[in-house]
Chain A
């Protein structure tokens, strides 16, 4: 009831829409809950999209952009829930154990499904078998950004400074076993630059310390970095992609900066617990792909260097497995293990 009222209101004049919203708010306040939905089948009630990081980073951004439009298309509210933990393990376990009717979904990501399955030896779930992977949503190639007080203008200058500094530089990540950590490890392997990893609880706090200059460098998707880059506290050095970012056309790619084989980023998809009925999966895949085909959604992703990547269930699983192989190799060579 909640969202339908609001979205239908969009066609009306704006004032009416706003009054409708206030009325809805008031009814929620007085009844304590929205009324029952006069609908059968899926979705029976609001969907819950679990995000494995705290609000503010790239994953949260993607989940919320997706959630708003999905609610509109599917005719039910989409409630975003942040359940942060290392490797997204808490969020993943929560979803795996929930009922497989398609109402509880995980924003699966490079962290939860790309890295965690190959990083943690003892997980209580299988990242492929215990999930119904529904759709891939977007890729956000990584950006290498340094604190602007560091006098390096290029990747090569940065490496020279790192070598000259006793102990090398510190690189921040959104947590142990996160994609930002492994991009950093990959950078270390390829360039040999001495760097020590400092994990944070999500990209937000990591970027705060990076902007404060206590850590010097971070590799992450653009959403968490872009505000501070534009504000001048961070300097972008290279895109970890095969193309330059349209929002930062002057920043070279890693290959252009002289280093091949450092490619990565963060990616997101939607997954649920294993055993979601075929028809529900089909509906969700269709609606999610419809969301990311919207020009305004693509524009939102594009503004932070993201690319919509609508893969279906089978292709998404294949993509995850390919990522697993790549990061397993990085983990093996770098020796990055939890604790």
Chain B
């Protein structure tokens, strides 16, 4: 088989000591930087791109891919430990991961996130090796109308499935969409809702909102508990490692998450984030006890983490075969390719098989390196939770503030984060989920632009959204997602009975 031969050749390239060192350094740097909120994979690659100047292109790209991988990995740690997702694709992990940590299962959450990432990452690289060339054209089937309906589905799914009630989820989602309109309109260049504040022209950054709504709100709540003298001390309950039951419950979510992640990754545009939303929604839908999601279900960590890392393999497909970047991170990788005088695209596989297959082989190795690097760290990270609250809360605040300030060096954004912290605290008290707000803020701008492009292309005919089978399926899925919270209570009795059984 041709691909296999190429891959073996790729391993010969990637296993050269120098390249092996680059994989390792890349993964290490990526993990270290990825742990900081505010510096996601895209920023990590962009920041570290200059240090690859002067390195031979294959080695440089291998290192950059390692950084990409490492940063994807690192993002989940802060989600689980301090409820602060480092990038939008880790938001879903925080929902159940942090609750697991509060239940004393931080070790299990971190371990499953490392293991799920490893399995998903490896499988997605296998899929990439086998399917890159056949899947090359798939990305081109997705036009603005398809993207709009896909994002609509992702958003309705998250609004309907993350909170205690549909109306609260929708409230949070619409607030997010409204915040997403702030800033200079990309299509027309007009300022919208900026109140002549130059700081708002760029829009409100994801990291500002996420740090406010998650981390700072968490600190407020922790402070309140502390002052009331009822702050709970988190204890590791049971063994540090995964229990047999936890492992058993994680297997299928990892499998499904991997599939979702890879195929979503193949489609350009917010791949990883949407993949994690879809994976979480699927796990909740197939679960026999959906009402327990959000209280520390390991399925809600294993699935999205697998989806997140599988999408990195998927995103390489349009990048390598079409020269189309599927995400912010792959866009920076594309820039790196071009900088080295390589034009990703239909001819790259033919012209530079050494480079392409060397890169792919290095991704296999990167996954192993990351597992070896991260599993021992689980025990170290878990100890963070033993830090007394008087130290932990200021630490969370300072890590968050550094994360925000490092991005733009803008004081205004720190105040903005504080404001969102107050909003997040209010949401907590009212039991309104914050994830829909954060994710619709991330997707809102793209969704709006896709809508407007679709309308221009169709000549202002709304029918464009039901004309392709892909759109129809996605619209139907959105309707189903919305109706689940309405229909499910009708079956609640039987569902409760069913849920009670495995819990015993």
Contacts and interface: CB of A to CB of B under 8 A. Distances in A.
Interface of A: 2-3, 6-7, 9-10, 14-15, 17-18, 21-22, 24-26, 28-29, 46, 54-56, 60-61, 64-65, 68, 71-72, 77-87, 89-90, 93, 97, 116, 119-120, 124, 167, 170, 175-177, 196-201, 204-205, 207-209, 211-215, 223, 226-228, 230-233, 300, 303, 338-339
A54 B334 CA distance: 11
A3 B187 contact: no
B189 A18 contact: no
Interface string B43-74: 00011111111111001000000000000000
A9 B53 CA distance: 11
Interface string B125-147: 00000000000000111111000
Nearest to A46: B50
B504 interface: no
- If over half of B's interface residues share one DSSP class (helix, strand or loop), that class is named, otherwise mixed; here it is helix
Interface string B19-56: 00110010011001000000000000011111111111
Interface of B: 18, 21-22, 25, 28-29, 32, 46-56, 59, 139-144, 184-190, 198, 201-202, 268, 322-325, 331-332, 334-335, 338-339, 341, 343-347, 449, 453, 456-457, 459
A120 B190 CA distance: 9
A89 B184 contact: yes
A29 B456 contact: no
Contacts of A60: 335, 338
B77 to A, nearest CB: 16
A207 B189 CA distance: 21
Contact of A25 (B25, B184, B332): B25
A213 B21 CA distance: 43
B302 to A, nearest CB: 29
Given A29-B29, A228-B345, A15 B50 contact: no
A25 B29 contact: yes
Given A21-B51, A198-B453, A226 B343 contact: yes
B144 A64 contact: no
B51 A6 contact: yes
A167 B190 contact: no
A176 B189 contact: yes
User: What are the 6 A-B residue pairs with the smallest beta carbon separation, nearest first?
Assistant: A231-B346, A227-B345, A212-B140, A55-B335, A339-B188, A86-B189
B40 to A, nearest CB: 14
A30 B453 CA distance: 46
A223 to B, nearest CB: 8
A56 B346 contact: no
8 contacts: A7-B53, A17-B54, A18-B59, A21-B54, A82-B46, A211-B324, A212-B142, A339-B189
Contacts of B139: 208, 212
A172 to B, nearest CB: 9
A81 B328 CA distance: 13
A176 B453 contact: no
B50 A78 contact: yes
A49 B345 CA distance: 27
B335 A213 contact: no
B331 A2 contact: no
B27 to A, nearest CB: 11
B123 to A, nearest CB: 26
Contact of A204 (B190, B331, B457): B331
A90 B18 contact: no
Contacts of A24: 51
B331 A56 contact: yes
A214 B143 contact: yes
